[in-house]
Structure 1
Amino acid sequence: MIAGKSKRHNKERGVKMKIAFSVLSIAAVFSGAAIAQDWQEVNVSGFTLRWATISATELSVELSAPTTGWVAVGFDPTAGMQDANILIGYVASGITEIRDDFGIAPTSHTADTTLGGTNDFTIDGGSESGGTTEIQFTIPLNSGDQYDRELITGNMYTVILARGPDGADDFTTYHEAYASTQIELWALALDSDTWGRIKTSI
């Protein structure tokens, strides 16, 4: 009788372990899907823009375009470049350079610091390879700078994209291509440490 109970107990234990393993496997699959969904992406006119909230107060952004010059993204303009919070950057000799600009007119922008504002971003990385430039950075959703635009999760925003000609490693050369799109900011925060890990998992 004891041996019979032992066999039945081991069998039941094995079934429970299989169920537990299956539950964990399903959870892992759904967890991976949730992580992948936290990054949003849009492709327009050769530009690739990816973004994700990494905390309740920060937005991480990745922008790439087919150029060896500068690339730029502007958030929430009112007309053309007017009033947009513009991040423009390039990669030269392996070093990523980014500047925080403000759209002072529909066809013009200048550095926030020139206007009396501040640079409100963190450079997360960048690369120039195969004729494509990519910049990665994080900005506050609300910097408090009058030359930035407050971004609220759950809202839709107009975003402008631009790139300079090949070799234009500066902030002033006239753009070679331009595009505009609409994006929504999801309120799905990621730990900032996952920047590289999540990027490669999608």
Structure 2
Amino acid sequence: MAIGFEPSVAMKDADMIFGWVQDGQIVVMDTYSTGTYGPHPSDEEPGGTNDILAFAGKEENGYTVIEFKRNLDTGDQYDKAFKPGRR
């Protein structure tokens, strides 16, 4: 699963979170889309930081649920700052 925030065009410049379940293990990545349709390197590759504070998830009965926690403003140039009341 993936969710992207505030791209400039299509997926370019989006702050993205990827998550999945593999062999019963939960994987969550803090990434950034460098092109219109990718690639999506981890924030750490170009010099940013992994700002996921906590995560959990499960795969059950054909459904996947991923949860993550991060600060609204991480200070990382590859993360978008979320502001209350803004869509």
- CA positional deviation for 1:81: 1.1
How many residues align? The count is 86
TM-score by length of 1: 0.41
Structure 1 residues 27-176: aligned runs within 5 Å: 71-108=1-38, 109-156=40-87
Structure 1 consecutive aligned stretches of length 4 or more whose deviation exceeds 6 Å: none
Greater Rg over alpha carbons, structure: 1
Q: Could you tell me which residue of structure 2 aligns to residue 189 of structure 1?
A: none
Structure 1 residues 168-187: aligned runs within 5 Å: none
- CA positional deviation for 1:78: 1.4
| Unpaired stretches in structure 2, ≥5 consecutive residues | none
CA RMSD, aligned part only?
Answer: 1.1
Contact kept in structure 2, 1:120 and 1:143, CA below 8 Å:
yes
- CA positional deviation for 1:140: 1.1
TM-score by length of 2: 0.90
Separation in 1 of the partners of 2:51 and 2:68?
A: 10
| Unpaired stretches in structure 1, ≥5 consecutive residues | 1-70, 157-202
Contact kept in structure 2, 1:98 and 1:123, CA below 8 Å:
no
